[in-house]
Amino acid sequence: MDLLTFLNDAYPFTVVQLTDAPRGLVAQTHFATLTDGTTVFVKAVHAPLFKPHLVHSAASHAYLSQQLGDRINAPIATRSGAGVARWGDAVIAVSHVITAPLTEVYDLYAFGQLIARLHSVPVDPRVPTRRIADFAHRGLLDTLGRQAFDGTGMSPAVIERLAPWRETFWHYHARLRHFEQAMRALPAQPLVYTHGDAGGNVVANDAHHLHLIDWDYIGLSEPERDLWVFEFYPDFVTGYQSIITSYQPDEVRLQYAAYRQFFDYMIYFLAELQRIPSDGDVTPTIDNLLSLFTDWCRPHMR
């Protein structure tokens, strides 16, 4: 069954046109035009490691959309009331479209306030939400790391590209263990709803009225899961503190959050490299993996 027919069967609307909406690396994404002229966003995920994210985030995404109103894109349930649907080997999630462009140019004070409002949403124990308090993929990380960086289980093309980063990978691996131990010495703090990848998922028509999209990584976690990437931006921290006045940056918590995010994404890319056929093109996946070392995470990892 093609996707358009499936959507019309599974959801309480009728799609008249599907348009590709290329975005990100882990999903096929589309804009679906409905009979009344409105547009919804459709995400179809086939990647085995990523499909559970959609399933586990559905209920909390719906809850947060009720709490935060138009500040986030609201999900659309299936005809049966389920948060996601199964289409062949893919998981489907559908949401309303916020009529504003994706942007990384926004007022950092306003963004800090928005994240603080998210973190202030009361935790509802009736809403099933993943708890992300610890790094949960130790065994998988160790296995994939040996295969990719020690040359024991990946293709020669992958091993050759990753070889210059072997020492850095294992250095960061040791630092992750260091911060895991350091976190155990700190007092526990209440977990809050976190987005998990907020900075690159902002849509806005002006720099101050911001909206968050792409809620697949929702989890109950320490606030630093959303804060580490903004540690060098005082306006963001000030905006956050204007809502949550008790917040004070903590080096250990921020570093642990950065390392955990680095390795969460590392595992995804390494697992995808394993899935690519021997005659497939590994270059885009390796390029994105190496960007973790060179661009996004590395300035924050000490």
pLDDT one-digit tens code per residue, 25-59:
667 999 999 999 999 999 999 888 889 989 999 99
Asked if pLDDT for residue 177 goes beyond 70, the answer is yes
- pLDDT of 24 reads 60
What secondary structure letter does DSSP report for 233? -
Residue 106 has pLDDT above 90, yes or no: yes
What's the rounded mean pLDDT across residues 211-232? 95
What is d(CA 21, CA 259) in angstroms, rounded to the nearest whole number? 31
More confident call, 137 vs 84? 84
Q: Where are the domain boundaries for CATH 3.90.1200.10 in the chain?
A: 108-300
- Name the band, by pLDDT with cuts 50, 70 and 90, for residue 136: low
CATH 3.30.200.20 intervals, the chain: 3-98
pLDDT of residue 143: 92
pTM, two decimals, is 0.92
Q: What is the pLDDT of residues 39-48, one digit of tens each?
A: 999 999 988 8
Q: How far apart are CA 98 and CA 169, in angstroms?
A: 39
Q: How far apart are CA 178 and CA 180, in angstroms?
A: 5
Distance between CA atoms of 77 and 7, rounded to whole angstroms?
11
Whether the CB-CB separation of 72 and 211 falls below 8 Å is answered with yes
Q: 108-300: which CATH number, 1.10.3720.10, 3.90.1200.10, 3.90.950.10, 2.40.100.10? A: 3.90.1200.10
Q: Which residues of 106-130 are buried (b: 16+ CB within 10 A; e: fewer)?
A: bbbbbbbbbbbebbeeeeeeeeebb
Q: What is the predicted pLDDT for the residue at 297?
A: 81
Short-list 121, 73, 80, CA closest to 97? 73
Spatial distance between the Cα atoms of 242 and 285, rounded to a whole number of angstroms: 40
Residue 236: partners with Cβ closer than 8 Å, 6 or more residues away: 108, 109, 111, 112, 115, 230
- Show the CA angle centred on residue 248, arms to residues 247 and 251, nearest 5°: 130
Q: How confident is the model at residue 222 (pLDDT cuts 50, 70, 90)?
A: very high
| Residue 264, phi then psi, degrees to nearest 5 | -60, -45
- What are phi and psi for residue 208, nearest 5 degrees? -115, -30
pLDDT at 238: 98
Band of pLDDT at residue 257, cut at 50, 70 and 90: very high
Q: Say whether pLDDT at 280 is over 90.
A: no
Nearest-angstrom CA–CA distance, 105 and 207: 7
Distance between CA atoms of 92 and 88, rounded to whole angstroms?
A: 10
pLDDT of residue 296 exceeding 80, the answer is: no
- Under DSSP, the state recorded for 71 is G
Task: Tell me the pLDDT band of 185, cut-offs 50, 70 and 90.
Answer: very high
Q: What is the pLDDT of residue 137?
A: 76
pLDDT of residue 211: 97
One CATH from 3.30.200.20, 3.30.530.20, 3.40.30.10, 3.40.50.2300 for 3-98: 3.30.200.20
Residues above pLDDT 90, as percent of the chain? 77
**pLDDT averaged over the chain?**
93
Tell me the C-alpha distance between 250 and 247, whole Å.
Answer: 9
Q: Give the CA radius of gyration of the chain.
A: 20
Q: Tell which wins on pLDDT, 235 or 268.
A: 235
